[in-house]
A = this chain, B = another copy of it.
């Protein structure tokens, strides 16, 4: 397996101004791996509960996603969240960690040679265990979340420093580096020794900073955002997967942005599950056109 994705498998209850979705499949590993599957094969490292039947995640296998690294233990992780009018930030209504609380990542032998890893939002100590198990990683992309920045900042920094590309959203960037300036936050994150940092700004697109270069990736202009859950994970999964083939971070960001835009157009994974490669290529061409002058 050339790409591995570490993250959660969740059962989500999602409330937005457009409706309610109860107990739907979610979690950072699920969104990331599904999104990755448009461009390449990947394998998940995660844990699910006994109350989540195998058949409920078997759609991932059909997309070339390996579930060999998924353990089954106890009761499944559940999250319920609500979005208000502006849809910018989820308000967490309830989190039940369940089997995630004692999760020890199982890394199959066939995963250890992976050249590409996306460590989605999860406890940074688990991210470190996975990084340390990789024999010859080419690019490790790491995501985090304000919850971990607030509770385990040292471990977050340690895990970032052992990675190559940091992906985080603008609020997290400002919080982690204690500055309102995204440019300063980016410069400070590069000082940790990573190759690149990507700051996600929701509908406003995303920014890539490397030591010598800066790229501004636009957001796709969506008329309606139905449910933004998983957009960040979709971005990360699509990014690592496209990059594993193209070796072009900028192009990978534009494709990742396209995938995240489709994800926002329906509850849970429902919208992404209807998307074809033709749809993706069409929206990619629109992204090229909307920035030409």
The interface centre, meaning the residue of A85, A180, A201, A216 with most chain B CB atoms within 10 A of its CB, is A216
CB-CB under 8 A for A251 and B293, given A221-B207, A222-B183: yes
Chain B residues contacting A224 (CB-CB under 8 Å) are 181, 184
Q: Chain A: how many interface residues by the 8 Å CB criterion?
A: 35
The answer to whether B203 and A250 touch across the interface, beta carbons within 8 angstroms, is no
The answer to whether B221 and A218 touch across the interface, beta carbons within 8 angstroms, is no
The answer to whether A221 and B182 touch across the interface, beta carbons within 8 angstroms, is yes
Chain B residues contacting A214 (CB-CB under 8 Å) are 221, 290
Cβ-neighbour of A181 out of B183, B187, B222 (below 8 A):
B222
The answer to whether A216 and B87 touch across the interface, beta carbons within 8 angstroms, is no
A56 on interface, CB distance cutoff 8 Å:
no
Chain B residues contacting A216 (CB-CB under 8 Å) are 205, 218-219, 221, 290-291
The answer to whether A250 and B215 touch across the interface, beta carbons within 8 angstroms, is no
Chain B residues contacting A85 (CB-CB under 8 Å) are 180
Query: Interface digits, A228-266 against B, CB 8 Å rule (1 contact, 0 not)?
Result: 000000000000000000001011011000000000000
Chain B residues contacting A201 (CB-CB under 8 Å) are 204
A223 on interface, CB distance cutoff 8 Å:
yes
In whole angstroms, how far apart are the Cα atoms of A205 and B99 in the complex? Answer: 43
Give the Cβ gap from A235 to chain B, nearest Cβ, in Å. Answer: 16
Closest 10 CB pairs of A and B: A250-B293, A204-B204, A216-B218, A183-B223, A216-B290, A86-B180, A183-B221, A214-B290, A291-B291, A216-B291
Interface residues of A (CB under 8 A from B): 85-87, 174, 180-184, 187, 201, 203-205, 207, 214-219, 221-225, 248, 250-251, 253-254, 290-293
